[in-house]
Amino acid sequence: MENKKAILVLEDGSYFEGEAFGRTGQAHGEVVFNTCMTGYEEVLTDPSYKGQMVVMTYPLIGNYGMNEEDVESYKPHVEGFIIKELCDYPSNWRCTIHPVQYFERWGIMGIHRVDTRQITQHIRNFGSMYGVISTESFDVQALAETARNIGTVKRDLVDMVSVKKTRHIEGPGHRVVVMDMGMKENIARSLVKRGCDVYVVPCHTSAKEILDLNPEGILISNGPGDPQDIPYAIETIRNLIGKKPIMGICLGHQLLGLALGGQTYKLKFGHHGGNHPVKDFNKGRVYITSQNHNYALRDDFCKQATVTHINLNDNTVEGFVHNEYPIISVQYHPEASPGPHDSAYMFDEFVGMMA
Ligand SMILES: NC(=O)CC[C@H](N)C(=O)O
């Protein structure tokens, strides 16, 4: 692999020099760190990372290559990938493409041979921040200025990753409409595995159009960005509450909370990884969960719902149920991918609500 110099500059002026892989030029986004030890294919292709550059804390990435089955979307969505060491010679019987070729094919910028522990500690201490990866300019002050400006540009990230037209995955069981806010494919797979007849609809679909599909349940998916930036989705969900069983996952969970009158806030550096302990009060058990979010619901979020799950690391809200209607919602990822499968029971509960 050709050794081309690259630099990562954060908005506060701190910088890290390393080597480029994939596309060259410049890439920018919010820099977050992910603590998964495996699962880089799922991380790269999770649409919730739109607008973000991910630092992997695990030091060796790419050792099992890439394949077409473990992805969460047909293409990568990270804006940039920041790693300690990219494996030159991946080895796995399922590997169909080398990570470097994958990055080149999709025009994604990567930087490796940087001290990912130092970057992670910096973000832990000072919070997630915007950053720029560059192979063409090494002017730290100018790049830091560019990074600071990124945060001020508002974009509808959800609209950028949601399906453009309704997708139908036929099944013999309950009809579920998934509001696609940036759905990870394993949500669809988890429903299909349970026999559901799945309609994945674009984020701008109205409540009436959703109800016209005659669903037995509605699932609001994960997705990128700040939930408060998409008032149209909150309005749609408000018009669905009480009409059908609903399940919210991650961004979907935050939007449901907002539709019920709750409030969201931004965490210092978010939860991104496959090792977050969550207590389920109803079951009296602790599950290790897969997580990827920067925002959270306040714990006093509304009177109509009850908090059912909390994160044991920082006591933030991880799930709730509605006090009157069949609505369940979790901040973490019951579909895992990557991460532990402890929480797949949430999909069984959703199917149970529809039965
Ligand atoms: N994975 C998700 O759905 C993330 C939700 C939201 N974008 C957040 O960062 O909190």
Domain boundaries, the chain: 4-150, 157-354
pLDDT, tens digit (0-9, with 9 covering 90-100), for 247-292 = 999 999 999 999 999 999 999 999 999 999 999 999 999 999 999 9
Compute the distance from residue 294 Cα to the ligand 1 centre, in Å: 6
- Point out the ligand 1 atom lying closest to the alpha carbon of residue 252: 3
Residue 187 has pLDDT above 80, yes or no: yes
Q: Is 329 in the pocket of ligand 1 (CB under 6 A)?
A: no
Of all helices (H) and strands (E), which one includes residue 255?
Answer: helix 251-259
Provide the pLDDT for residue 301.
83
- Confidence band, pLDDT 50/70/90 cuts, at residue 3: confident
pTM value? 0.96
The architecture CATH gives domain 157-354: 3-Layer(aba) Sandwich (3.40)
Task: Among 31, 48, 161, 330, name the best residue to mutate to test ligand 1's pocket (greatest count of ligand atoms within 8 A of Cβ).
Answer: 48
CB 311 within 8 A of CB 318: yes
The count of other CB atoms within 10 Å of the CB of residue 105 is 14
One of 3.30.300.90, 3.50.30.20, 3.20.20.70, 2.160.10.10 is the CATH number of 4-150, namely: 3.50.30.20
CB 131 within 8 A of CB 8: yes
CB 311 within 8 A of CB 160: no
Helices 231-238 and 251-259: crossing angle in degrees, nearest 10, is: 60
**Known catalytic residue at 95:** no
Provide the pLDDT for residue 1.
59
Nearest CA to ligand 1 atom 5: 251
Q: Is 294 in the pocket of ligand 1 (CB under 6 A)?
A: yes
The burial of 325, by beta-carbon neighbours within 10 Å (0-12 exposed, 13-18 middle, 19 or more buried), is given as: middle
CB 45 within 8 A of CB 75: yes
Q: Is 250 in the pocket of ligand 1 (CB under 6 A)?
A: yes
Provide the pLDDT for residue 325.
98
The count of other CB atoms within 10 Å of the CB of residue 125 is 9
Nearest CA to 236 out of 216, 220, 253, 222 is that of 220
Residue 153 has pLDDT above 90, yes or no: no
- Confidence band, pLDDT 50/70/90 cuts, at residue 154: confident
Nearest CA to 224 out of 203, 210, 245, 206 is that of 203
**Known catalytic residue at 333:** yes
- Distance, in Å, from the CA atom of 286 to the CA atom of 253, rounded to the nearest integer, reads 20
**Known catalytic residue at 335:** yes
pLDDT, tens digit (0-9, with 9 covering 90-100), for 44-61 = 999 999 999 999 999 999
